[in-house]
Amino acid sequence: MTTRPDRDLRDAFHRVADSTSPLPIDDDLWQRGHTARRRGQAFAVAAVLALVVSVGGVATLVTGTDREARTASTEVVEGGAVPSSIVDIPDDLAVTTDLAVGQGSAAFISSSGDPVVITATDGLPHRLDLPGWDQAPIALALSSDGRTIAYQDASAESGTYLTTVDLETGRSVRVFSDDSQRLLVNELSWSPDGRWLAWVATTQDGLLALLGRVDTSEGRPRQVRLPSGAVDVAVADDGSALVGLGGGGLLMADPDRGAVSVFSGPGVGAGAFSPDGRHVALRSSATQTSYTWDTDADELLEHPFPEDTLAAVDVRPLGWMDDQRQVLLAQDLRGGYSGELVVTTPTVDDTSTWRRSVGRVDRDIADSLTIAVDLLPDLDGTSSQQLTYDFDGPERDISWIIGLGVAAAIAVLMGLRWLWRRFG
Amino acid sequence: MTTADRDGFDEFVAARSAALSRTAYLLTGDHHLAQDLLQAALMQAVKHWRRIHTSPEAYVRRAMYHQNISWWRRRRITETSLLSYDGAVPAPDTDLRLTLDQALARLTPKQRTVLVLRFYEDLTEVETARALGLSTSTVKSTTRQSLARLRTLAPELAELIGADA
């Protein structure tokens, strides 16, 4: 219930009010009010425009054609391709538990120690939840056709196990088991046709080295002893293997025989067999030349890099496009070990090839990278041919851009509202 | 806006500016502030003249109430604490107008506005609450506190205010 104020107080208020003279009103009040109204309308229009620009800007960032803003998920390449830029995964990339991700174009061990496969048709990276994967740096290799990966399975506390995973079905197969000891697998390597898997391993004490091979279509793996210091291996379609020794030298091992020395000398190691089995692209360090082992002639072939191109690079062969053209990963010692893909031939002649910057590789993943060389197209003879595909990198997290755009729009509107109230 | 609009506004100002001036003065207690307050409220009315379909005077008064409190909110951060002014006004003026005027000057704009609406504009507590955008209980408590302060500041007004107010 409301209470009426005291009558005397009301009279007192009226007496005070009545003693007040009428206040002067500016003659131009109407005009000023009219101008203020127009200014207010202008502010309203500006506010709408600011909102439109903000939203439009966000939309442009989200859907624009800028290569940084595009997402790889929008790109699909028929038949698949090797990405022109292979980079480490972001820390927040989700783990993929379904291993049937599809044909891969590249595989590597991320800087966080996770196995990663980039799928061939969309260029997307997948952090795989491989059974028995150990975070310690262990071996991972993608076959030349991109359909199978092999890795060292450390699910048991002891023993040595190698497993392959069919990336199209997700089916995994343990292709090698040695329950007696835990070997350190230095390298896994596929034959060009993806039939043979080879590895070099050493015992925990480092005193014994082993060369292992398995025909994955038939099973029956076998290992042979090697001199200590075996660090890398290449395997041919017929099961022959070339082993590189850390101290220098190459060993050749036929499928059913032990290894014999074929080359003595520092600076080269085993890389990748050509499909016809005649040549083996070799590793080399701090060099301006690529080296190839000719198995028929037992001869070391050289292909010096063209002048003013690469200098003092580490070379690791990734495979062969055909019987003549090998794909190398060259890491520039002066450039902080960032890598680039190079296509070249064993020697320099009238039909030789040398192309650099075929692709770029993040230095953090270069040492473990394997690619599906079968996805590289046949050369058409032109220097402008793109051998890799620009998928524009991994999908970009744009939620922060949207949030920033909305926040900017709100800030602009709040600012205009304040100005309107202050001066309107 | 048309000439008719302007003529209508001029007629309204000519007819009601005196009454509006009184309210503006009571709300502010200062001629200059009152003039600013009235002009600001009339400016608001000009900007929305075509949309004022009911009483322009009610619109202008409401604009003054809100503008006065709005100005107070902007100024209050620099205002001196009221506690230091809670002593009685020295040398009481026998003129009632001056005494009430001086006492009102010691109230906050919110307290002053509530009293003007209740005792001068003769609005009920509900109407006052609606006009100022406050709750009825806030209007009640503000009225009670304001009158108590008036009694403290100007004891000679106690008879006018009444013990129950």
Domains and CATH numbers, chain B: 1-79 (1.10.1740), 83-165 (1.10.10.10)
Cα-Cα-Cα-Cα dihedral sign, residues B22, B26, B28, B29: positive
DSSP 3-state assignment of A383?
coil
pLDDT confidence of residue A334: 65
Task: Report the 10 Å Cβ neighbour count for A11.
Answer: 13
**Residues of chain A contacting B10 with CB distance shorter than 8 Å:** 30
| pLDDT tens-place string over residues A365-402 | 888 999 999 999 988 888 788 899 988 754 455 667 77
User: Contact, A386 vs A28, CB < 8 A?
Assistant: no
> Nearest to residue A213, comparing CAs of A162, A170, A171?
A162
List, in order, residues 6 or more apart from A94 with CB less than 8 Å away: A127
Q: Is A29 close to B42, i.e. CB distance below 8 A?
A: yes
Q: Is A23 close to B34, i.e. CB distance below 8 A?
A: yes
pLDDT confidence of residue B82: 39
CATH of domain A75-281+363-375: 2.120.10
Confidence label for B133 from pLDDT (cuts 50, 70 and 90): confident
pLDDT confidence of residue B93: 45
> What is the full DSSP assignment across A384-412?
T---SB---SSPP--HHHHHHHHHHHHHH
Residue ranges of chain A whose pLDDT lies below 50:
1-5, 64-73, 394-395
As a whole-number percent, the residues of chain B with pLDDT over 90 amount to 6
Give the integer Cα–Cα distance in Å for B61 and B23. Answer: 8
Q: Is B26 close to A25, i.e. CB distance below 8 A?
A: no
Query: Does the pLDDT of residue B77 top 50, yes or no?
Result: no
More confident residue, B45 or B75: B45
Cα-Cα-Cα-Cα dihedral sign, residues B97, B99, B100, B101: positive
Closest CA–CA distance from residue B58 to any residue of chain A (Å): 18
List, in order, residues 6 or more apart from A196 with CB less than 8 Å away: A190, A213, A214, A215, A216, A235, A236, A237, A239
> What is the full DSSP assignment across A181-221?
---EEEEEEE-TTS-EEEEEEE-TTSS-EEEEEEETTTEEE
H or E element, residue A70: none
pLDDT confidence of residue A81: 93
User: Contact, A289 vs A302, CB < 8 A?
Assistant: yes
> Nearest to residue A292, comparing CAs of A334, A320, A332?
A320
**B13 to chain A: closest CA residue:** A25
pLDDT confidence of residue A55: 67
Q: Which of A6, A36, A40 sits opposite B162 (nearest CB)?
A: A6
Q: Is A8 close to B159, i.e. CB distance below 8 A?
A: yes
- Enumerate the domain spans of chain A: 33-69+398-424, 75-281+363-375
pLDDT confidence of residue A281: 97
Give the integer Cα–Cα distance in Å for A351 and B69. Answer: 90
> Nearest to residue A120, comparing CAs of A139, A143, A97, A138?
A143
**Residues of chain B contacting A33 with CB distance shorter than 8 Å:** 42-47, 49
Crossing angle, helix B3-28 and helix A29-63, to 10 degrees? 100
Q: Is A15 close to B124, i.e. CB distance below 8 A?
A: no
Crossing angle, helix A29-63 and helix B31-47, to 10 degrees? 60
> Which of A10, A25, A35 would you mutate first to test chain B, the one with the most B CBs within 10 A?
A25
Q: Which of B13, B120, B165 sits opposite A14 (nearest CB)?
A: B120
> Nearest to residue A375, comparing CAs of A75, A82, A139, A27?
A82
Which residues of A fall below an 8 Å CB-CB distance to B? Answer: 2-3, 5-6, 8-10, 12-26, 29-30, 32-34, 36-37, 40, 424
Q: In angstroms, how far is the first alpha carbon of chain B from the final one? A: 48
Q: Is A13 close to B120, i.e. CB distance below 8 A?
A: yes
| ipTM (interface pTM) | 0.78
- Distances, alpha carbon A25 to alpha carbons A230, A365, B10, B127, in Å: 101, 78, 10, 28
> Which of A30, A39, A41, A418 would you mutate first to test chain B, the one with the most B CBs within 10 A?
A30
If you average pLDDT over residues B124-136, what whole number do you get? 85
User: Contact, A319 vs A373, CB < 8 A?
Assistant: yes
User: Contact, B120 vs A11, CB < 8 A?
Assistant: no
> Which of B47, B126, B164 would you mutate first to test chain A, the one with the most A CBs within 10 A?
B47
Using alpha carbons only, give the angle A57, A60, A63 rounded to the nearest 5 degrees. 150
What would the two tokens of residue A334 be?
């002066």
Query: Does the pLDDT of residue B84 top 60, yes or no?
Result: no
pLDDT confidence of residue A72: 44
pLDDT confidence of residue B160: 66
If you average pLDDT over residues B11-25, what whole number do you get? 90
pLDDT confidence of residue B74: 57
**A40 to chain B: closest CA residue:** B47
What would the two tokens of residue A403 be?
């949030």
Cα-Cα-Cα-Cα dihedral sign, residues A226, A212, A316, A114: negative
Give me the residues of B, 70-109, that contact A with CB < 8 A: 96-97, 100-101, 104
